[in-house]
Structure 1
Amino acid sequence: MSKQRTMAVLTEIHETSERAAFGSIHHFCEELAAYARKRGLLFYVSSPALYLEGVGYQWTESGWSKRDVPPADVVYNRLHSRKLERSPLFAELLARLAEENGMIFNHRFLHKWEVHCHFERHEYLHPHLPKTALWSGQHTLEAFLGAFPSVFLKPIYGSQGRGIFCLQHSDDGICLRHSTSASTAVYRSMDALASALRQQIRTPMIIQQGLELRTLDGRPVDFRLLCHRVRHNDWRVTSAVARIAPPGQFVANLARGGELMAVNDVLRKWCTRADAFQQKQLLKEIALESAVVLASESEGLYGEFGVDLAIDIHGQPWIIEVNTKPSKQTNMAASCQSVRPSAKAIIDYSLTLMEEKE
């Protein structure tokens, strides 16, 4: 009798006497479990520590049940902690997977600078890449502010729009804004600005060209396209949404209060139906090209990327950033679908990996 194919989701698990919770992907794991059952997979959710003990949570009619589980053929890495990914515990888990001939995808977080370096090696992406450099203090600051009306400073390990600085020229000097604060500081000299930033910056940063983005009611807009791997290096877009920044803010992340809209609804406010169709197709093309590049350039396997794009006032699309552990809370149709295309894509890709291994 052949062994049942087995898949595990690896994430942080918050256990209490009443229940286990999987954080922001809790409901998504239920979708994965439902579709895995339809595809004949044994499916469970585990943490690094529990996996090494042979324990995981399986979905039953009465909820998630903690059980002894077999080694997984494929592990879908949804750890949210970079620190945990760099820990001896995670290294031990990878060694165990190698011994058991298991596979893992979404290998690890890719930080913003390495993503940019991967993209920069591919000339056809250059028209969509804002000028970017590693932040190294006042010299890079002066160079970028001398070249562009506005620039951004972003933590290379940042997520959810946290820790981003926006710097803009004004009649009074240079305005400094922070993504988690409504206040604006104005500095009349580069020395004073650089000194203020040195006091606030504690992590490696990139400095990036600011863009004049298209807006709705004066609020910047970006687009999150969720890309999933089908097999080998074939990818498809499983969902696309527009995100509108809150009034007075410069980031559109939902974690910072951004608002979701359908991509077509936003594009139709800016252009004709025909142009909106072409623009959406171009966004999809750039997102898929980005996914192919990152999957081929990066060490390990990747099965999904959340690609953030924006369009400037001249109609030019730009790659803002790529998330290697994209949010599962940006699908506008989630409330009326039992299993979203993104969940089906994860299970289907896991099965493809198992078939290719066999």
Structure 2
Amino acid sequence: MKLPERNTLGVITCKSKGMPPFLETTYFQQLSHEGLRMGLPVIVFSPMDVDWKQRKVSAWHWQPKRRAWTAGTHPLPSLIYDRCYYTNSRHYTRYKPYVERLAQDPDVHLLGRPLGGKWSTYQLLEPNPSIRPHLPPTSKLVSSRDLEQALDHYGSILIKPNGGSHGRGVIALVPFDHGYNIRGRTLRNQPLHFSLPTRTKIISWVQEITANTRYIIQPYLSLVTADDRPFDIRILVQKNGSGMWETTGSAVRTGKLHSLTSNLHGGGKAERTLSFLQQHFSENTTTRITHTIESLSTMVPRQIEREHGRLVELGLDIGVDRSNRVWLLEVNSKPGRSVFLLTGEKEQRRQSVLLPVQYARSFFFGPTGGSV
């Protein structure tokens, strides 16, 4: 698809306190820098700030000479990059009609169609026989019977908010001699660690905390190093200027000792992937894990696009259990990039900014074979 005019990339984001009134200011500043370098201006705005009658938006743009964000009124861009993050279902519901209005407008095109929650993403991936063995069995938590059946079947289970991120609301329920051990984080990202003596009390507690939020259930997988530090591997795959998928980079996120998740927002750290794998696994196992990750990085974007529609980028979260089995834990269509700064891989960070601009530019000027 080649768009005929208005060669501006509009980035939509949720409003926040402060100036400028949005998050990811560093990323958007870098995006703007690369856009200007390639002849593709970038403006940032809330989907709530569209004047449909005038087809104009109240937006912000980065001014390199002043090194400042400036507010102004701009024509509604014909190409939109969705970077709206929703903190909870109420937040999502508030923005949904505004984002849908943009997506449904015949003269507006989304760079990529965001994924839904964890359950719908699982349903997109599960039919693929090559991906299925790497997916933790997943079901919806609707009633106490769902919880009881999962506890009977798996013993130890993990419950996750269907739409959550950053490890918020992820809780493990693990049986021990005197009841159940509960570990994880609240929806406000506060650590949880306590026990309850009976299954009845567990079910009652879970019903209480999940009353207003949709949750999924998975078996609890031991995804930790030999010294009991949780870890996962974040893979960033993106479209390039030719519309082809590339693996931009990867990094390992390690959590605190005995903690449940390795998410950076929960106090985790970032390490380079190959050196981490070589430190914790044999040469043969490292080679096999790397090969599996490469296969998933190729298969997953194609499978989701086939079932769901156009994407621009994906973050794949990969786990490795104590049997060295590789698991695809989550897929995120609005991945962050801070992990590459923390590992000191500046070229991967720059490439992660460059590729969305190259892909967006191809909508106006046609495909490119590499850096512009």
TM-score, length basis structure 1? 0.88
- Structure 2 residue 105 is the aligned partner of structure 1 residue 119: no
- Structure 2 residue 102 is the aligned partner of structure 1 residue 102: no
- Structure 2 residue 222 is the aligned partner of structure 1 residue 217: no
- Structure 2 residue 279 is the aligned partner of structure 1 residue 269: yes
Task: Give, in whole Å, the separation in 2 of the partners of 1:233 and 1:117.
Answer: 25
Change (3 A) 1:272 1:148: same
Paired position in structure 2 for 1:27: 26
Which aligned pairs between 1:214-253 and structure 2 lie closer than 5 A?
A: 214-215=224-225, 217-230=227-240, 234-253=244-263
Change (3 A) 1:66 1:167: same
Structure 2 residue corresponding to 1:57, chosen from 50, 57, 60: 60
Select between 316-325 and 273-282 the one with higher mean Cα deviation.
273-282
What is the letter of the counterpart of residue 84 of structure 2?
A: L
Q: CA deviation at 1:191?
A: 2.2
CA contact (8 A) 1:44 1:58 kept: yes
Q: CA deviation at 1:295?
A: 2.1
Change (3 A) 1:72 1:214: same
Paired position in structure 1 for 2:89: none
Secondary structure of 1:219's counterpart equals coil
Secondary structure of 1:20's counterpart equals coil
CA contact (8 A) 2:47 2:95 kept: no
Task: Give, in whole Å, the separation in 2 of the partners of 1:329 and 1:248.
Answer: 24
CA contact (8 A) 1:137 1:194 kept: no
Unaligned runs of 5+ in 2: 87-91, 368-372
What is the letter of the counterpart of residue 11 of structure 1?
A: T
Change (3 A) 1:70 1:8: same
Secondary structure of 1:349's counterpart equals helix
Task: Give, in whole Å, the separation in 2 of the partners of 1:313 and 1:233.
Answer: 37
Q: CA deviation at 1:343?
A: 0.8
Task: Give, in whole Å, the separation in 2 of the partners of 1:326 and 1:214.
Answer: 23
Paired position in structure 2 for 1:181: 191
Secondary structure of 1:215's counterpart equals coil
Secondary structure of 1:183's counterpart equals strand
Structure 1 residue corresponding to 2:207, chosen from 169, 176, 198: 198
Task: Give, in whole Å, the separation in 2 of the partners of 1:49 and 1:141.
Answer: 39
- Structure 2 residue 71 is the aligned partner of structure 1 residue 72: no
Q: CA deviation at 1:184?
A: 1.4
Task: Give, in whole Å, the separation in 1 of the partners of 2:355 and 2:226.
Answer: 32
Task: Give, in whole Å, the separation in 1 of the partners of 2:274 and 2:305.
Answer: 28
CA contact (8 A) 1:85 1:108 kept: no
Secondary structure of 2:361's counterpart equals helix
Q: CA deviation at 1:210?
A: 1.3
Q: CA deviation at 1:274?
A: 5.4
- Structure 2 residue 294 is the aligned partner of structure 1 residue 284: yes
Secondary structure of 1:330's counterpart equals helix
Q: CA deviation at 1:50?
A: 3.0
Change (3 A) 1:29 1:335: farther
Unaligned runs of 5+ in 1: none
Change (3 A) 1:133 1:13: closer
Task: Give, in whole Å, the separation in 2 of the partners of 1:222 and 1:338.
Answer: 18
Task: Give, in whole Å, the separation in 1 of the partners of 2:181 and 2:343.
Answer: 39
What is the letter of the counterpart of residue 318 of structure 1?
A: W
What is the letter of the counterpart of residue 156 of structure 1?
A: N
Task: Give, in whole Å, the separation in 2 of the partners of 1:58 and 1:182.
Answer: 41
Q: CA deviation at 1:207?
A: 0.6
Change (3 A) 1:243 1:192: same
CA contact (8 A) 1:227 1:239 kept: yes
Q: Deviations over 1:250-288 (max 9, x none)?
A: 011111111111111210112244542442232132133
Task: Give, in whole Å, the separation in 2 of the partners of 1:243 and 1:46.
Answer: 31
Task: Give, in whole Å, the separation in 1 of the partners of 2:281 and 2:193.
Answer: 34
Secondary structure of 1:117's counterpart equals helix
Q: Deviations over 1:163-196 (max 9, x none)?
A: 11201121222222232324211333x2222112
Q: CA deviation at 1:70?
A: 2.9
Change (3 A) 1:339 1:112: closer
What is the letter of the counterpart of residue 100 of structure 2?
A: A
Q: Deviations over 1:78-119 (max 9, x none)?
A: 1113234422x3333334x42xx2311343341000011111
- Structure 2 residue 182 is the aligned partner of structure 1 residue 138: no
What is the letter of the counterpart of residue 207 of structure 2?
A: R
Task: Give, in whole Å, the separation in 2 of the partners of 1:10 and 1:68.
Answer: 15
Secondary structure of 1:124's counterpart equals coil
Structure 2 residue corresponding to 1:327, chosen from 328, 336, 345: 336
The Cα RMSD (Å) is 2.5
